[in-house]
């Protein structure tokens, strides 16, 4: 079924948002030791399930933090994102990968194309997280592994995005509102960020975090049971669950052999 105009409009706003504020926070020092910048469950996933030469789809690669790491592990990487400016940043960091500008809602790949599929912090920004999930599963080979990081409905961030973020996103639609947010709310966020990162976060990095967490036009939140329901409907087995990152929980799922598609 073709997406309705509401969905297209939301996706256009999301694209424009990440064009202006790509999820970019790496310093040259971070790039030089990129493993340090990966979430521990992601490092674990790669060390357990990846082998040199495997085909990997990184769906919603952003500016290439994960793409660089995948390339260093000698994987054959296809990286996709909705945002061209994010893809350009990623390409400059990991030129060996293939880059595709497209939506997670309609992946331009045949069924069963990849040994591994990675989606870290992406499907919850799409207009329909479940459809994106199904698309990710469709392009995974039977027997392949799927790394999924998604916002946890049961963490405080849901309340922050919903109750603090909603009025700010309204105000931001006006030019004066944008300036007011940047001069009042953002400095508070930046100060908190500096404290948390012990002075390591740059102004640009903090700004992009702020716009990703609070101002992004779309964020949906999902409990463990919901994701497990999606997994069983799509004939996937849960092989690992990690809630330790806080607002994002991580699922490692395996597509069953002989999987004929969703139930
Ligand atoms: C929070 S960033 C995560 C980037 C990267 N995975 C990481 O962990 O560094 C979310 C990314 O999802 C992308 N995105 C949002 N909606 C999308 C869609 N419908 N299709 C593909 N990518 C999308 C954004 O452009 C952005 O780069």
pLDDT level of residue 198 (50, 70, 90 thresholds): confident
Does residue 100 belong to any structural domain of this protein? yes
Which of 62, 161, 219 to mutate for ligand 1's pocket (most ligand atoms within 8 Å of CB)? 62
pTM of the full predicted structure?
Answer: 0.94
Q: Is the pLDDT of residue 48 over 80?
A: yes
87 and 177 belong to one structural domain: no
Output the average pLDDT for the chain: 94
Structural domain span for residue 60: 5-153+219-255
Exposure of 175 in the CB half-sphere (CA atoms within 13 A): 0
Q: Is the pLDDT of residue 1 over 70?
A: no
Q: Render pLDDT for 24-36 as a digit per residue (tens, 0 to 9).
A: 999 899 999 999 9
Q: Is the pLDDT of residue 216 over 90?
A: yes
47 and 177 belong to one structural domain: no
Please count the other Cβ atoms lying within 10 Å of the Cβ belonging to residue 203: 11
What secondary structure letter does DSSP report for 73?
A: T
Distance CA 214, CA 29 (A): 27
**Is the C-beta atom of 104 inside 6 A of ligand 1?**
yes
Q: Which atom of ligand 1 is nearest to the CA of 11?
A: 19
pLDDT level of residue 2 (50, 70, 90 thresholds): low
Looking at residue 45, its pLDDT comes to 98
Distance CA 165, CA 17 (A): 15
89 contacts 26 by C-beta, under 8 angstroms: no
Q: Is the pLDDT of residue 90 over 90?
A: yes
21 and 92 belong to one structural domain: yes
69 and 37 belong to one structural domain: yes
146 and 230 belong to one structural domain: yes
10 and 135 belong to one structural domain: yes
């Amino acid at each position: 079924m073709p997406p309705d105009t509401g969905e297209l409009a939301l996706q256009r706003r999301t694209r424009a948002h990440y064009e202006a504020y790509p999820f970019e926070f790496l310093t040259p020092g971070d790039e030089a030791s990129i493993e340090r910048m990966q979430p521990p469950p992601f490092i674990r996933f790669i060390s357990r399930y990846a082998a040199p030469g495997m085909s990997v789809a990184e769906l919603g690669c952003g500016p290439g933090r994960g793409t660089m790491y995948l390339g260093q592990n000698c994987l054959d990487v296809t990286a996709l994102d909705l945002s061209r400016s994010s893809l350009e940043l990623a390409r400059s960091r990991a030129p060996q990968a293939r880059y595709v500008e497209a939506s997670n809602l309609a992946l331009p790949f045949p069924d069963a194309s990849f040994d591994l599929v990675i989606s870290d912090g992406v499907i919850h920004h799409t207009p329909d997280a479940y459809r994106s999930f199904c698309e990710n599963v469709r392009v995974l080979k039977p027997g392949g592994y799927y790394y999924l990081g998604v916002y946890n409905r049961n963490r405080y961030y849901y309340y922050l995005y919903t109750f603090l973020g909603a009025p700010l996103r309204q105000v931001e639609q006006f030019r004066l509102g944008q300036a007011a947010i940047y001069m009042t709310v953002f400095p508070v966020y930046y100060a908190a960020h500096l404290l948390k990162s012990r002075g390591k976060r740059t102004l640009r990095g903090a700004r992009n975090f702020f716009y990703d967490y609070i101002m992004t036009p779309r964020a949906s939140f999902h409990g463990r049971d919901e994701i497990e329901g999606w997994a069983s409907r799509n004939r996937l087995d849960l092989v690992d669950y990690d809630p330790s990152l806080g607002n994002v929980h991580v699922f490692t799922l395996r597509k069953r052999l002989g999987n004929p598609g969703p139930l």
